[in-house]
Chain A
Amino acid sequence: MSGHVFHPGHAELHGITVVVETHGSRTYVGRYDMEDSQGVHLLDVGVHEPKASMSKEEFIRKSAKFGVQSEHKHVIVPADRVARITRLGEVVGS
């Protein structure tokens, strides 16, 4: 293949933009980097708070259509808070 790959040997989701839904009220969209004892590391992350003007579903759909509005360079979501991880590219409408 003609692509030049710089990140061999990483986790399957490394470099993939994902939606991380939590057992709490926050939802994160960002680039999956790795998981370690601290939790799931995300880069260039947008965060949905329950008091936001749009619903979680709208936040995810907007991220899928217009891209991730990065609010944080790096976020660690504790593993026990993670309810579900989905590829943003699999979100309908992306």
Chain B
Amino acid sequence: MPYNPALVAPMRAEVTRLGVKELTSAAEVDAALGDQKGSMLVFVNSVCGCAAGNARPALALALKHAVVPQQIVTVFAGQDLEAAARARQYFGEYQPSSPSMALLRDGDVVHFVHRHQIEGRSPQAIASDLTAAFDKFCGAAV
């Protein structure tokens, strides 16, 4: 059951204030991810402080990098249930976890950061892995 929206609002804002587009319905997810071209990061937000408390600051750090995905969107697992479930349908064989991050290129997942790769790690370490993926998959020469 979703948490009180008022409780979750700061966690949404921590991501959307970065300029990340929030997708709250399956239709919005399909519009963004269906026939997706170029590079896109999907940030699966989560209430859980054990991991999401580091994932959101990591995203903020990573988005300061010189190379970033062309599009960055977010869905909120456990809150916007329909949107999160639909987004996961685009992640192929990668199992659902939250928080998590999927980097797509032309509709294919080219890099995935699972919850277990976030847990217990510093935002700086997580961001470093993310920016390495940005350099590899989002550069002009790809």
Contacts and interface: CB of A to CB of B under 8 A. Distances in A.
Interface in A1-41: 1-7, 14-17
B61 to A, nearest CB: 11
Nearest to A16: B119
Interface in B95-112: 95-97, 100, 112
Contacts of B11: 4
B117 interface: yes
Q: Most B CB atoms within 10 A — which of A2, A3, A14?
A: A3
Contacts of B53: 1, 3-5
Contacts of A69: 95
Contacts of B10: 4
Query: Which secondary structure characterizes the binding site on chain A?
Result: loop
A7 B12 CA distance: 18
B140 to A, nearest CB: 28
B114 A94 contact: yes
Contacts of B60: 2
A56 interface: no
A15 B94 contact: no
Given A17-B115, A64-B116, A87-B116, A2 B49 contact: no
B95 A3 contact: no
The 8 closest A-B pairs by CB, nearest first: A3-B53, A15-B50, A67-B95, A5-B49, A17-B116, A88-B116, A6-B49, A89-B116
Given A14-B50, A94-B117, 18 more contacts: A1-B57, A3-B54, A3-B57, A4-B14, A4-B49, A6-B49, A7-B48, A16-B50, A17-B97, A17-B116, A17-B119, A66-B112, A67-B95, A67-B97, A67-B100, A68-B116, A87-B120, A89-B120
Interface of B: 10-11, 14, 47-54, 56-57, 60, 93-97, 100, 112, 114-117, 119-121
